[in-house]
Structure 1
Amino acid sequence: MAAETALVTEGGGLAFADNTTSASSVSASSDTSNVSGPAKAQDEASAVLMARLQDRKIEVLSARTTDSTTYALPSGELETEAYAGPVRVKQDGTWKNIDTSLSDTGADLTPEAAAADIAVSDGGDTDLASVNLFHPVP
């Protein structure tokens, strides 16, 4: 019987896999239907290892940008999906999906998460709206 052992450290970016054969090893099911949790890993090495062990694609968070998403595949290859425009923005150090739902933030209505600094007047102002375009930092 073959057993596969894996060690992944989130902070250090280290990944280790050991494929050993032992008569006394416990049978491990290859059924991945019980795999739960987000399909993402902090770095490429961890994502490749997790994809191989879980037999599903895992997002490589360190490769995430405003207009692309990179996945590690069970085969060990990487797949990048590129979008025509931004699909997420980095706010306060955290990636957030674009959400143009407006919230009342006092004197203005502003989107939850947008690729530009947008404010729409909630009435009584001389400006109907203001838009400041910027190039988001990935």
Structure 2
Amino acid sequence: MRRRSMLRSGHRQIRRLAAALVLLLAVDAALIAQGTGLAFATPSAPTAVSGSANSAQSYGPAEAQDETSALLMARLQNRRIEALSDRTSDATTYALPDGTFSTEVYAGPIRVKQDDGSWQAVDTTLSDAGDELAPETAAADIAVSDGGDQ
């Protein structure tokens, strides 16, 4: 009989320890998420959306800094979210609400990485850059002579 009470006491201690560990991990995860600000998928202020308007507009841009944040946002908002950390000049990766990822790959560059690290869409519109014509944003350095004076 004494052995049973010792076993029950041991099981209670293990359960208490497990519950305390789960609570500690939950608090730790919440503090980390709060410190980074990346995992929060709710808008800062509620916005009214009419019945005919797209409900995705109330959540803000469909992008997140990393895959983990994108996956969480996709599940919470029930829409695809771009993982910016996986963005390249010719590919876009999305986290989907079902927990999977989808990557769209293009035959050529659709965006160009700027010197400051941001991405800008390719724009081949020519602009006058002094004695030459150059595209607004292109993957390669291209310049066309404007013909000069002669």
Q: What is the TM-score normalised by the length of structure 1?
A: 0.67
Displacement of 1:44 after TM fit? 0.7
Paired AA for residue 102 in structure 1: L
| 1:41 and 2:50 are equivalent in the alignment | no
Displacement of 1:12 after TM fit? 3.7
Displacement of 1:119 after TM fit? 0.3
Runs of 4 or more off by more than 4 Å in structure 1? 7-11
Task: For 1:106 and 1:11, locate their aligned partners in 2 and report how far apart those are by CA, in whole Å.
Answer: 48
Equivalent runs, 1:77-96 vs 2, <5 Å: 77-92=100-115, 93-96=117-120
Paired AA for residue 94 in structure 1: S
Whichever structure has more strand as a proportion of its residues is 1
Equivalent runs, 1:5-84 vs 2, <5 Å: 12=36, 15=39, 33=55, 35-84=58-107
Does the residue aligned with 2:58 lie in a helix, a strand or coil? coil
Displacement of 1:77 after TM fit? 0.6
Tell me if the contact between 1:55 and 1:74 (Cα under 8 Å) persists in the aligned partners. yes
Tell me if the contact between 1:104 and 1:110 (Cα under 8 Å) persists in the aligned partners. yes
Paired AA for residue 79 in structure 1: S
Higher-Rg member (1/2) = 2
Displacement of 1:80 after TM fit? 0.4
Task: For 1:122 and 1:46, locate their aligned partners in 2 and report how far apart those are by CA, in whole Å.
Answer: 48
Does the residue aligned with 2:39 lie in a helix, a strand or coil? strand
Displacement of 1:37 after TM fit? 1.7
- Count residues in correspondence: 107
Whichever structure has more helix as a proportion of its residues is 2
Tell me if the contact between 1:13 and 1:46 (Cα under 8 Å) persists in the aligned partners. no
Q: What is the TM-score normalised by the length of structure 2?
A: 0.62
What do residues 42-94 of structure 1 show as CA deviations (whole Å, max 9, x unaligned)?
11111001101100000000100011000000111110011111111112221
Identity of aligned residues (%): 67
The root-mean-square deviation of aligned C-alpha atoms, in Å, is 3.0
Displacement of 1:16 after TM fit? 7.4
Residue 107 of structure 1 is matched in structure 2 by 131
Displacement of 1:108 after TM fit? 1.3
